[in-house]
C-alpha cells in the first residue's frame, strides 16, 4: 500500500509495480491535513485491517540559511506539518491496530543532517530530529508488545526534491535504488538505526569535538551558495562547482550543504 498527494504519480507507480506481478493499493492523501490523515487511517483499518509495516517517507525539505529566513517562519511550520506532525498522527492512528496484533514495525526516514547538524537545513533537520526523538521514546514504550521502530538517517538522494538546488547536479548522491535498498534492509533486519559511516562519524565528532565540527560545517556553509530561490532571485544556470567544492562534496558524500 502506498500513499501520496499526486494521483497521477500514484497511478504511474501502480502500473510499474503491477507490471512486475505485484498487487498494490494506492491512496491519495496529504498527511499534513489532519482530516485526510484520519480518513486514510480509517480506510486502512476497514480495507486491510491496518498495516504491519509503516514507512514514514513523506517529507518536505527546505534549503535556506537562517539569515535568509527571518521573515519566513512559515518554512518551519510547513516542514513540521508533514515531517513531524503528519508522520506522528499517522503513526498514532495505526499503532492501536499493531498493539492489538502484538506486532508491527515503524520505519522513520530521517536525514544524515540530524547526525551532522547540516547548515542551511535548520527547518528540515529540526523536524526530522523531532521525529527521531518520538521514535526513540515510542520504541521504549512498545518494546514488550512486539512493535519495533527503525530510524534511517538517509544521505542526500537524487530525486526531484533536490532538483531546485542546481549545485547538487555536481555532487555525489545516492540513487533512488540505493536509498530503497536501505529501506529493504530496515524491513528485513529491523535495527534501531541505519546510518552511513560518514553520518555516524559526524555524530561522534559533534559529541567529542563540537567546535571542530562547527568549523568544518561552517566552512562548507560558506563554500556552497544559497540557491536562487533562497536568495529571491530568478533561476539562472547551474553554478559550476570549484575544485574545492568538488573535493569537499566527495569527502562528505551524501551530506546536505
- pLDDT, tens digit (0-9, with 9 covering 90-100), for 140-169: 999 999 999 999 999 888 776 665 555 565
Q: Say which DSSP state 120 is in.
A: T
Given a contact cutoff of 8 angstroms between Cβ atoms, the answer to whether 24 and 13 are in contact is yes
Chain segment 30-44, per-residue pLDDT in tens = 999 999 999 999 999
Pair (42, 15) in one structural domain? no
* Cell, residue 245: 567544492
Residues 18 and 142 grouped into a single domain: no
Q: Are residues 195 and 85 in the same domain?
A: yes
3-state secondary structure (DSSP) of residue 193: strand
Q: For residues 116 and 215, is the Cβ–Cβ distance under 8 A?
A: no
Q: Name the domain count of the chain.
A: 2
If asked whether residues 26 and 99 sit together in one domain, one would say no
Q: Give the pLDDT band of residue 208 (cuts 50, 70, 90).
A: very high
Q: For the chain, what's the residue count?
A: 257
Verify that 3 and 65 share a domain, yes or no: no
| Residue at 127 is within a domain | yes
Angle at 38 between CA 35 and CA 43, to 5 degrees: 125
Helices 210-223 and 197-208, axial angle in degrees (round to 10): 120
Measured from the Cβ of residue 166, the count of other Cβ atoms closer than 10 Å reads: 17
1 and 56, same domain (yes or no): no
Name the residues annotated as catalytic: 124
Does some domain include residue 44? Answer: yes
pTM confidence score: 0.85
The gap from C-alpha 223 to its chain's centroid, in whole angstroms, comes to: 24
Kind and range of the H or E element at 105?
Answer: strand 104-111
Amino acid at each position: 500500500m502506498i500513499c501520496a498527494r499526486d494521483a497521477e504519480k500514484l497511478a504511474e507507480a501502480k502500473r510499474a509495480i503491477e507490471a512486475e506481478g505485484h498487487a498494490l493499493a494506492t491512496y491519495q492523501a496529504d498527511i499534513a491535513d489532519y482530516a485526510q490523515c484520519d480518513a486514510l487511517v480509517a480506510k486502512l483499518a476497514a480495507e486491510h485491517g491496518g498495516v504491519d509495516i509503516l514507512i514514514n517517507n513523506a517529507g518536505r525539505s527546505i534549503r535556506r540559511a537562517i539569515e535568509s529566513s527571518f521573515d519566513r517562519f512559515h518554512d518551519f511550520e510547513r516542514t513540521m506539518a508533514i515531517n513531524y506532525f503528519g508522520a506522528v498522527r499517522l503513526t498514532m492512528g495505526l499503532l492501536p491496530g499493531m498493539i492489538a496484533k502484538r506486532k508491527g514495525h515503524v520505519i522513520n526516514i530521517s536525514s544524515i543532517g540530524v547526525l551532522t547538524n547540516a547548515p542551511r537545513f535548520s527547518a528540515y533537520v529540526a523536524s526530522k530530529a523531532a521525529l527521531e526523538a518520538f521514535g526513540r521514546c515510542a520504541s521504549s514504550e512498545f518494546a514488550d508488545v512486539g512493535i519495533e521502530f527503525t530510524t534511517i538517517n538517509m544521505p542526500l538522494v537524487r530525486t526531484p526534491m533536490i532538483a531546485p538546488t542546481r549545485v547538487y547536479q555536481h555532487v555525489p548522491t545516492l540513487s533512488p535504488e540505493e536509498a530503497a535498498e536501505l529501506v529493504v534492509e530496515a524491513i528485513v533486519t529491523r535495527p534501531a538505526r541505519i546510518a552511513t559511516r560518514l553520518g555516524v562519524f559526524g555524530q561522534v565528532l559533534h559529541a567529542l569535538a563540537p567546535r571542530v565540527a562547527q568549523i568544518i560545517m561552517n566552512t562548507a556553509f560558506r563554500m556552497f551558495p544559497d540557491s536562487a530561490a533562497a536568495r529571491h532571485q530568478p533561476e539562472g544556470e547551474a553554478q559550476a562547482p570549484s575544485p574545492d567544492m568538488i573535493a569537499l562534496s566527495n569527502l562528505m558524500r551524501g551530506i546536505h550543504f
